[in-house]
Amino acid sequence: MTEKTPCIICVAITGSLPTKADNPAVPISIAEQVESTHAAYEAGASIAHCHVRDDEGKPTSDVVRFSRLMEGIQTHCPGMIVQLSTGGRSGAGKARGGMLTLRPPMASLSVGSNNFPTRVYENPPDLVDWLASEMKTYGVKPEIEAFDLSHIYKAKQMVDAGEIGARPYVQFVMGVKNAMPADKRVFDFYVETVKHLFGEDTPWCAAGIGRHQLELNDWAAAAGGHLRT
């Protein structure tokens, strides 16, 4: 983590949801993803949050694809931090963590369950523990995905239990239907909670989903957090 940079920008070049049919500009192939990450890198982004797709454009946890994407970004964007997604949209169970053996510098880690627009986002306790232990084994720094307040407290318990390192990097995810809305009052409490649990200077970031992206970026910039685009 480049702690001395005043503002870290984390770019999510390809989410797990949009398809070429939704938006022909969405980068799907590895080459397209590397190109698009490079543009963000030149514009100042320092972390690349990465998903990969299969040949049909569907989210996958395929280790070979993750490996090619990581290598491409590291070659074309020197110094950029690659963060691979272990999120549940791309696979189920331990398949979600197969790419951790690639030893990426960072990976996302969901530590609780919550509702998504039309289903349950399932992160069973034993899977959370396993993903954390794999990250520890392979020296991967987790980004804790906080879809709700208790997830930040769960991160604290995992720090205390030695499952993850001190001062975890928490990302607040807001604006997902049926999870936490993009609410300024809650955002402020999230920031206070991170400072309270992990110390004043602990870096954190915030992601607003869909139409909430710019709003969350404004709030995060004003409160000293990192941005996610």
Interface residues with its own copies (CB under 8 A)?
112-126, 128, 147-150, 153-154, 157, 178-181, 183, 185-186, 189, 193, 196
- CA-to-CA dists, residue 37 to 9, 62, 72, 167, angstroms: 12, 19, 10, 27
> In which region does residue 57 sit, left (phi positive, over 0), alpha (psi from -120 to 50) or beta (all else)?
left
Q: How many other C-beta atoms are found inside a 10 Å radius of the C-beta of residue 53?
A: 23
Q: Which does 114 bind (CB under 5 to 8 A by kind): Zn ion, its own copies, none?
A: its own copies
Q: Which does 228 bind (CB under 5 to 8 A by kind): its own copies, Zn ion, none?
A: Zn ion
- Strand runs (DSSP E) across 41-133, as ranges? 47-50, 52-53, 59-60, 81-84, 106-110, 114-115, 120-121
Closer residue to its own copies (CB): 125 or 139: 125
Closer residue to its own copies (CB): 72 or 145: 145
CB of 155 to its own copies, least distance (A): 12
CB of 12 to Zn ion, least distance (A): 6
The H-assigned helical ranges of the chain are: 30-42, 63-76, 125-137, 149-160, 184-198, 213-222
Closer residue to its own copies (CB): 100 or 146: 146
For residues 113 and 123, give the distance between their C-alpha atoms in angstroms, rounded to a whole number.
5
The token duo for 159 is 């720090």
Residue nearest to Zn ion (CB): 10
Q: Which does 85 bind (CB under 5 to 8 A by kind): Zn ion, its own copies, none?
A: Zn ion
The one among 85, 86, 123, 193 contacting Zn ion by CB under 5 A = 85
For residues 229 and 148, give the distance between their C-alpha atoms in angstroms, rounded to a whole number.
20
Q: Is 205 in the site for Zn ion (CB under 5 A)?
A: yes
CB of 113 to its own copies, least distance (A): 5
Q: Is 228 in the site for Zn ion (CB under 5 A)?
A: yes
